[in-house]
């Protein structure tokens, strides 16, 4: 029987199981450069079928949080190479998530300049800065002639990821960040070829994906979306139609997988969007994410509702999660106070079954 522990082929990779470490921001990259501590964190989780890293900014323009890593400069490539070598030496596979925060940022990160977005629409809430929480600023809308430069930032970041030794990249088009902002009609009020109809609103994601596919190959590219997640004040008037078309477009480009956050920002199922319908528009592998445990994850695989299942907090606190699931062992409880920032405490010191 095919289940969470069954092998699966992803592009040119043979994954040992169908469990994925979901991308999780941990804010432990001073000056945006990955560290040896980060390498140890990811190495510990190498028994997953696939690791997707925390979001890595594709440029200085993409920064929106303190102490998050980038993937566009030489020193960042060197830092990530330490991570990928550690994971590969432990027998794992790892993709780099490419991230641009768009309007979910603050002038503090941009020399006083406004963050950029599809349209000049202020997000509700506050930005995390090195000086604490500060109100979001109304962003500056991209000029049309700037958009090819954004596409180039993604292409360059993908090339950097390959240079750093990653097995592939995931385009972060979820959770209210830049690519998601272009997709949604609540944040995209443009009247040019990048706004208005669904076909126009998905254009940036299509151009970015095309550029990355040309650079590194479709079998090394995945995309993450979040149709029902309102995080970062993101909404759309018809998410079913939007994400059906997104899935069809990505399928046509032949990307390796579609990674869907299936739940709301508080972890609930929203039946207003049918994830099975979205999946029906995509021919590649489907990674499901959203409050899964072993039982629900196995059921999703057995019933062919997903090809792989991504776990967030369970992997944060249990680096040996596949072994714990196999043994039906008790899981470590996650310490929320250490989720963001700090040192190895609550990061690399969660015990494995062999170290208890």
Residue 294 lies in a domain: yes
According to DSSP, residue 198 is labeled: H
Residue 85 lies in a domain: yes
Residue 3 lies in a domain: no
Q: Which residues contact 287 (CB under 8 A, 6 or more apart)?
A: 20, 222, 257, 258, 259, 260, 306, 307, 308, 309, 310
Widest Cα–Cα separation across the chain: 59
What pLDDT shows up at residue 356?
A: 53
Q: Are 347 and 338 in contact (CB under 8 A)?
A: yes
Domain count, the chain: 1
- pLDDT tops 80 at residue 126: yes
User: Mean pLDDT over residues 53-70, rounded?
Assistant: 98
Q: Whole-model pTM?
A: 0.97
Residue 124 lies in a domain: yes
Residue 148 lies in a domain: yes
Q: What is the C-alpha to C-alpha distance for residues 217 and 158, in angstroms, rounded to an integer? A: 10
What pLDDT shows up at residue 241?
A: 98
Q: Are 290 and 261 in contact (CB under 8 A)?
A: yes
What pLDDT shows up at residue 269?
A: 81
Q: In which domain, by residue range, is 318 found?
A: 8-355
Report pLDDT digits (tens) over 148-165: 999 999 999 999 999 999
Give alpha helix (H) positions in the chain.
Answer: 36-44, 74-89, 147-163, 178-183, 198-201, 203-216, 239-253, 275-279, 294-302, 313-317, 321-327
CATH code of 291's domain: 3.20.20.70
- Could you please report the per-residue DSSP string of 32-45? G---HHHHHHHHHT
Residue 1 lies in a domain: no
Q: What is the mean pLDDT of the chain?
A: 97
Residue 336 lies in a domain: yes
- pLDDT tops 70 at residue 174: yes
Active site residues: 177
Q: What is the C-alpha to C-alpha distance for residues 192 and 222, in angstroms, rounded to an integer? A: 27
């Amino acid at each position: 029987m095919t289940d969470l522990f069954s092998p699966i082929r992803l592009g040119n990779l043979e994954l040992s199981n169908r469990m994925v470490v979901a991308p999780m921001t941990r804010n432990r990259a001073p000056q945006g450069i990955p560290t040896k501590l980060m390498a140890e964190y990811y190495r510990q989780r190498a028994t997953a079928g696939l690791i997707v890293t925390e979001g890595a900014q594709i440029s200085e323009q993409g920064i929106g949080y303190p102490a998050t890593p980038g993937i566009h400069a030489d020193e960042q490539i060197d830092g990530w190479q330490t991570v990928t070598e550690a994971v590969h030496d432990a027998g794992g596979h790892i993709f780099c998530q490419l991230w641009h925060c768009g309007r979910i940022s603050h002038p503090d990160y941009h020399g006083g300049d406004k963050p950029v977005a599809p349209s000049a629409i202020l997000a509700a809430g506050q930005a995390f800065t090195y000086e604490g929480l500060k109100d979001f600023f109304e962003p500056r809308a991209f000029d049309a002639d700037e958009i090819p430069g954004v596409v180039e930032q993604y292409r360059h970041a993908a090339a950097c990821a390959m240079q750093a030794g990653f097995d592939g990249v995931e385009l972060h088009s979820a959770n209210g960040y830049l690519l998601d902002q272009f997709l949604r009609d609540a944040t995209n009020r443009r009247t040019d070829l990048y706004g208005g109809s669904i076909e126009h609103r998905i254009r940036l994601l299509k151009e970015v994906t095309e550029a990355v596919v040309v650079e590194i190959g479709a079998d090394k590219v995945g995309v993450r979306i979040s149709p029902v997640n309102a995080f970062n004040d993101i909404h759309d008037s018809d998410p079913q139609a939007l994400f059906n078309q997104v899935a069809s477009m990505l399928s046509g480009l032949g990307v390796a997988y579609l990674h869907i956050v299936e739940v709301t920002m508080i972890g609930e199922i929203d039946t207003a969007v049918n994830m099975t319908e979205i999946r029906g528009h995509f021919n590649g592998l489907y990674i499901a994410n959203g409050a899964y445990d072993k039982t629900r994850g196995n059921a999703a695989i057995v019933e062919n509702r997903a090809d792989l299942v991504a776990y967030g907090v369970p992997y944060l606190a249990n680096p040996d999660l596949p072994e714990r699931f196999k043994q039906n062992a008790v899981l470590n409880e996650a310490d929320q106070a250490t989720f963001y920032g700090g040192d190895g405490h609550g990061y690399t010191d969660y015990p494995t079954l062999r170290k208890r």
